A and B are shown apart, each in its own frame.
Chain A
């Protein structure tokens, strides 16, 4: 048995021991699981489902599990159409392989892009089991029913468990998926219900395997000193003290990184040791003098001022309706405001970690990655191997939030494993994660609006400036990209006759990357804060004013306006920008929060609503502020319309967690001085703790038969503006520059 097989066997037995679980998720691919099922007959009519002679159903999940419970959702979908007994379903994690199609787990699209395909996978298996029973019993297939893991024929009274027909079904030709009948929505058994997370028991037992938990025989651990400034290089290195640390076996210089950063390793000096502690101590003992390079000029404070200067001047228009300048000049009241949002770090609870083994003609990676195929490609490129020689195992992810969409850490592990000639696990410390990240970009925005004598908004001019994500892949990119503007900027839902949206260039000095909800975070913050500022200027109720801004129920046709817009990669016919649905969640959250009731007890409400990832979310945040200026959030209400949803409790969890992530976005910041990140750990990078967290989060899921939309990201963007709006109501202070301090000085 190879080391790897041994490892897999351990995963299998440890989760089996957890006991009492209906479903268990393994780290291994479906093929390996099949090989151990103890029976020759396995019926596997496609990529996603396999049934063995005992009746056990293995559903393969090709997307990464990072807390959004995609393992559970995929199993629900397949098991539903298969009419499987939920107790007989297990989930296997798919390896990184193009045969699955897109595996990049980001953009809140795992369910919306796979619902039909996974339903077909379950339905195909079910149909073939029926065909097998029909052939075996010599009766017409139409007379065979397949329900809850049982095949039966009413006429003859015969019945069989799915497992009994596996051998016969495996002989049949797999029908074309598009010809297989799917269930009626009303007959769904698991889809649309609340099912507990299938990984729950192994998580509670402490046996769930994350990226940090991979252990291979003979494995060494690496901790890396990376350049403090992007594209910095090692000027001099003295590793004698590091090599003297007990347990340290080697010090390896990684190749210096040159632009573009892309997904490449950052460079620096790696300390290889027999365990994590020795590697960390070895790194502490390195004496490195760095050549910082051009990015040492980066100071985020000065940069913010420069960006604000930028948005005070005309930019490049990306959407124009009517004549904004004339309407602004004619307005009876003009309002303008500027908003800034700092860099943020995704800071998943589990820092990046990857383990690699490399031989002359093969490499294998185990990593907490959101993107196994890009990992495979980047590792292959770094090692000079064809991708077919690289296999990528996806562990559970202790959170991702976009950080683990970048395979740089797997590239590091692969390079080091080759250098050392043994399996190597690269561990990022929290300081590494905070100081050497792919940051949420830094942004400045300015909005000007004009109101007529009735307090109606007649003009809206919005400028946005931020170093764009494409700069990470091509340093000449300085203009906010279409792909980021579409995130809550170009798709502005307000019904205003004169509107102009402009973009303004900004240089990147750090690696810029995705963070949960991406540009929606700062665009929603500015737009939804400003909507509240306008309501105040017009002396109107903020919720009523927001509904007026959204205006009539309509589908916004950006194409007709000449705006480049890709609608999150999905069809605008299936997923229109539907202002009626946006207004509907506003009204729903107002009802849930009893918005119109006057709060007597020092509680104040703020509201915000935003469409992102094709879903509609409205949030009401309730705050209290004590006499020391400390604020609390007794309650939050969230209304979401995500179209068809698979797991009600997962959607609730994402609304709860997405709100708290939005809270963290409102109170944390990453800054840089001389190109070096100022924060390093949770003492300096503020994230929401239980003391800041809402006392309760009430979630209303709109019952919807629309096509499935995103869930993991949409709850985050409305939170910060709803909080800022509530704090304004409570204190009269307007927070236009994040972060919001935890204690408000009067």
Chain B
């Protein structure tokens, strides 16, 4: 099957049931997308599939055929969210942060000016064990303001 990852065309002919997380990490060595739970419970593996946030740990390769995947490596460093993450010095261990940013990017695409409740609803599926939630919320607001 054919698909694209961060704008590059790639081929895959392995197990169609393999979650895209392991294709990205083990085969393409794009290790910015993280494993946290394997069951769509933590958000660490969040990527965009045709522009929508999905949990890469449960989406099989079969569902990605002819589609476009974007990972944290495909988000430029001058993206408003990454700049806001720097401004607020958000990450502690950093492990959950690629998933947080991919989820936040999806939120801002759908809701460019989210309020607190909308941020919470969109982000509560993304666990951060280091507890960076208040900074994530602030950084999303900063990014939303900067892109107006």
Chain A residues close to B by CB (< 8 Å): 18-20, 65-69, 194, 196-197, 199-201, 203-210, 212-213, 215, 221, 246-247, 275-278, 280, 347-351, 396-401, 427, 429-430, 649, 653, 656-661, 663-664, 681-683, 687-691, 693-697
Docked-complex contact B26 and A206, CB < 8 angstroms = no
> What separation, in Å, do the CA atoms of A683 and B41 have in the docked complex?
7
- A427: min CB distance to chain B, Å: 8
Considering the complex, give the chain B residue whose CB is closest to the CB of A68: B92
With the chains together, A201 CA to B29 CA distance in Å? Answer: 19
What are 18 pairs between A and B in contact, CB < 8 Å? A68-B92, A200-B94, A204-B77, A213-B31, A215-B29, A280-B38, A348-B129, A349-B34, A398-B34, A400-B93, A658-B131, A660-B133, A681-B38, A682-B127, A688-B133, A689-B126, A689-B133, A690-B137
B2 within 8 A of A: no
* Closest partner residue, chain A, to B71 (CB atom): A206
Whether B131 pairs with A212 at a CB distance below 8 angstroms is: no
Cα(A26)–Cα(B50), bound, Å: 33
Contact between B73 and A350, CB atoms less than 8 A apart: no
Q: A659 — which chain B residues lie within 8 A by C-beta?
A: 131
Task: Report whether A689 and B73 are in contact in the complex, using a CB–CB cutoff of 8 Å.
Answer: no
B97 contacts partner chain A, Cβ-Cβ < 8 Å: yes
Taking a contact as CB atoms under 8 Å apart, the answer to whether A401 and B91 are in contact is no
Closest to A196 in B: B89
Residue B142 is within 8 A (CB to CB) of chain A in the complex: no
Residues of A within 8 A of B39 (CB): 430, 681-683
Q: Given that A204-B101, A690-B120 are contacting pairs, would A657 and B130 also be in contact in the complex, using a CB cutoff of 8 Å?
A: yes
Cα-based distance from A429 to B42 in the complex (angstroms): 13
The answer to whether B22 touches A275, judged by C-beta atoms less than 8 angstroms apart, is yes
Do residues A210 and B127 form an inter-chain contact, with CB atoms below 8 A? no
Contact status of A69 and B92, CB under 8 A, knowing A20-B77, A347-B129, A690-B123 = yes
Contact of B32 among A201, A207, A276 (CB under 8 A): A207
A212–B137 Cα distance when bound, in Å, is 27
Instruction: Using A204-B72, A351-B36 as known contacts, list a sample of 8 further A-B pairs with CB atoms less than 8 Å apart, ordered by residue number in A.
Output: A196-B89, A203-B94, A204-B86, A212-B35, A215-B29, A349-B36, A349-B95, A350-B34
Q: Is the pair B92, A206 in contact by a Cβ cutoff of 8 Å? A: no
Those of B62-92 within 8 Å (CB) of chain A? 71-73, 77, 82, 85-86, 89, 91-92
A277 and B26 within 8 A (CB): yes
Q: Which 9 residue pairs across A and B have the least CB separation, nearest first?
A: A206-B32, A398-B95, A660-B131, A67-B93, A203-B94, A67-B92, A657-B131, A206-B72, A693-B133
How far is the CB of B143 from the nearest CB of chain A, in Å?
13
Q: A351-B35, A656-B132 are in contact. Are A19 and B91 (CB under 8 A)?
A: no
B125 nearest in chain A by CB position: A689
Q: Bound state CA distance, A204 and B96, in angstroms?
A: 10
Convert B13-46 into 0s and 1s, putting 1 for each residue whose CB lies closer than 8 angstroms to a CB of A: 0010011001001110111111111110110100
- Inter-chain contact B34/A246, CB cutoff 8 Å: no
**Most chain A CB inside 10 Å of its own CB: which residue of B18, B94, B124:** B94
Interchain nearest-CB distance for A285 vs B (Å): 13
Instruction: List residues of B whose CB falls within 8 A of some A CB.
Output: 15, 18-19, 22, 25-27, 29-39, 41-42, 44, 71-73, 77, 82, 85-86, 89, 91-98, 101, 116, 119-120, 123-137
Contact between B129 and A276, CB atoms less than 8 A apart? no
Find chain B residues with CB under 8 A from A682 CB.
37, 39, 41-42, 127
Instruction: Give Cα A331 to B32, complex, Å.
Output: 63
* A29–B86 CA distance with the chains assembled, in angstroms: 27
What chain A residues lie within 8 Å of B34 (beta carbons)?
Answer: 210, 212, 349-350, 398
Contacts of A204 in B (CB 8 A): 72, 77, 82, 85-86, 91, 97, 101
Do most interface residues of chain B lie in helix, strand or loop, or is the interface mixed? loop
Are A399 and B127 CB-contacts (below 8 A) given A196-B89, A246-B15?
A: no
A677–chain B nearest beta-carbon distance, Å: 16
**Cβ–Cβ contact B124 & A197, under 8 A:** no
Bound Cα distance from A275 to B23, whole angstroms: 9
Give which listed residue, A203, A661, A690, contacts B129 with CB less than 8 A: A661
Report which of B26, B38, B134 forms a contact with A429, defined as CB distance below 8 A.
B38
A197–B82 CB distance below 8 A: no
Contacts A203-B97, A349-B44 given; indicate if A681 touches B129 (C-beta within 8 A): no
- The residue on A at minimum CB distance from B86 is A200
Contacts of A277 in B (CB 8 A): 15, 18-19, 22, 26
The reply to whether A694 and B134 form a contact with Cβ atoms under 8 Å apart is yes
Closest to B128 in A: A349
- B32–chain A nearest beta-carbon distance, Å: 2
Q: How far apart sit A738 and B125, CA to CA, in the bound complex (Å)?
A: 24
Among B19, B92, B101, the most chain A Cβ lie within 10 Å of the Cβ of B92
Q: What is the bound-complex CA distance between A66 and B44, given in angstroms?
A: 16
Cβ distance B58 to chain A, nearest Cβ, rounded Å: 12
Residue of A65, A210, A688 near B131 (CB, 8 A) is: A688
Given A203-B91, A690-B124, A697 and B134 touching (CB < 8 A)? yes
- CB-nearest residue of chain B to A687: B127
Residues of B within 8 A of A68 (CB): 92
Contact, CB under 8 Å: A396 / B93? yes
Task: Determine the chain B residues whose CB is within 8 A of the CB of A400 once the complex forms.
Answer: 93
Q: Which residues of B are found within 8 Å of A694, using beta-carbon distances?
A: 133-134
Q: Which residues of B contact A66 (CB under 8 A)?
A: 93
Chain A residue nearest to B82 (CB atoms) is: A204
**A199 with B94, Cβ < 8 A, contacts A206-B32, A659-B131, A690-B120 known:** yes
Residues of chain B within 8 A (CB-CB) of A246 are 15
